[in-house]
Amino acid sequence: MNDVYILAAQHISSQTPLCEDWMDAPRLYDDAYVRAIDPDYKRYFAPNTARRLGRILKRALLTSQQVMQTSAVNLPDAVITATGGGCMENTEVFLNALTPEQGELLSPTCFMQSTHNTIGSLIAIETQCKGYNSTYSHKGISFECALLDAFLQLENGEADTVLLGAHDELTSNYFRLLCRTGYLGLSPGSFGGETALALMLSGTPCPQALCRVRGVEICFGMDPQAIRRTLEDFLQRIPCDSGEIDAVMLGVNNREANDRVYADWCPVLFPGQRFLRYKHLFGESYTAPALGCYAAAVCLHRQRIPAHLCSGDAPMGEPRHILLYNCFEHKNHSFILLSSCGK
């Protein structure tokens, strides 16, 4: 079994894009709806490449290209993409046009760019990667589903490099709709955000890698005892003693409906652990856990955890193992264990 490494990561989000400024100069928001900070795409794309691409596609393509550059992997073996909501902007244009008055006369471009896999196929076309290509769309654990597929392939050597993306956009209409369902809302210290993250993963160690991915697990259910057993099996399989874990990064977002389950279950699942958070910086979105994974990877790489990520006491010393726990709507759970490369 090969070890799995994160070689490089690039994000476009509510924090300053394509850099790690959030470590020391985090942007904090009072708004309930925050769009990602887009770089000037004209600097990166020729007009004829960009003209047909919606925002989410521009972000996906740019983060992918950047991560290929920083990792010096020119042709990954596989492209795996996660998106919970897909290309909302184009879907909306299409839905608006689907009224009887409009005569159902619709734009092929919008349709083509409304399917979830258009992100992964665009990346494949632009990078000429003819290898494995798949797209995961399972609510708030879409990223972890994609990571699991990548992990299995890297672990057994089916692929040596995987370009993994997590992309979700949030239009103003969709923000309103998701507030109605209770997923997003107007709570202080919480906001609906957007995610664009590309990771380059590899099964070969390399000195500049950010960290190791030790394991990933997803599960479904509402019984805390069953989830605890899943966690125990997960750690045992790696293997990792829970005492070695420096901190647990949670998907809390300052909203009662979301955070209650963490408050109830964390004492059972992670007794005596110190906790970290990331959604106060990156916001809530289906693939937000990808940004949590990214933040933890950067902390392990830089061997420090900034105070603004800590809920309560900061972990002591240099972090070596960070466990991520994400729970979406009390039913979909995921665990990811990241470890620093140096040992």
Binding to another protein (CB under 8 A) within 17-46 occurs at none
> Is residue 332 within the footprint of another protein (CB under 8 A)?
yes
Q: How far apart are CA 141 and CA 187, in angstroms?
A: 22
The helix/strand/coil state of 155 is helix
Binding of another protein by 173 (CB under 8 A)? yes
Shortest Å distance, C-beta 220 to another protein: 4
If one asks whether residue 226 binds another protein (CB under 8 A), the answer comes out as: yes
Tokens read off for 179: 């507030």
Q: What's the alpha-carbon Rg for the chain, to the nearest Å? A: 19
- Count CB neighbours of 304 within 10 A: 15
Q: Which is nearer to another protein, 99 or 317 (CB)?
A: 99
50 is a site residue for another protein (CB under 8 A): yes
Residue 133's closest CA among 143, 148, 123, 145?
123
Count CA atoms closer than 13 A to 98's CA, side-chain side: 9
Of the residues 77, 149, 259, 284, which one makes contact with another protein according to CB under 8 A: 149
Query: How many chain residues touch another protein (CB under 8 A)?
Result: 72
By the rule CB under 8 A, 133 interacts with another protein: yes
Cα(230)–Cα(228) distance, rounded to whole angstroms? 5
268 contributes a contact to another protein by CB under 8 A? no
Q: How far is the CB of 156 from another protein (least distance, A)?
A: 8
Residue from 142, 161, 190, 253 touching another protein (CB under 8 A): that is 142
Closest CA to 304 of 4, 27, 18, 24: 24
CA pair distance 341, 339, nearest whole angstrom: 6
For another protein, the binding residue among 31, 52, 257, 260 (CB under 8 A) is 52
The phi, psi pair for 13, rounded to 5°, reads -155, -160
Q: Which stretch binds another protein (CB under 8 A): 7-15, 62-70, 88-96, 312-320?
A: 88-96
Q: Does 105 bind another protein (CB under 8 A)?
A: yes
Smallest distance from the beta carbon of 11 to another protein, in angstroms?
22
Which of the stretches 80-88, 191-199, 202-210, 250-258 binds another protein when contact is defined by CB under 8 A?
A: 80-88
Does residue 330 belong to the site contacting another protein (CB under 8 A)? no
Cα distance between residue 22 and residue 283, in whole Å = 13
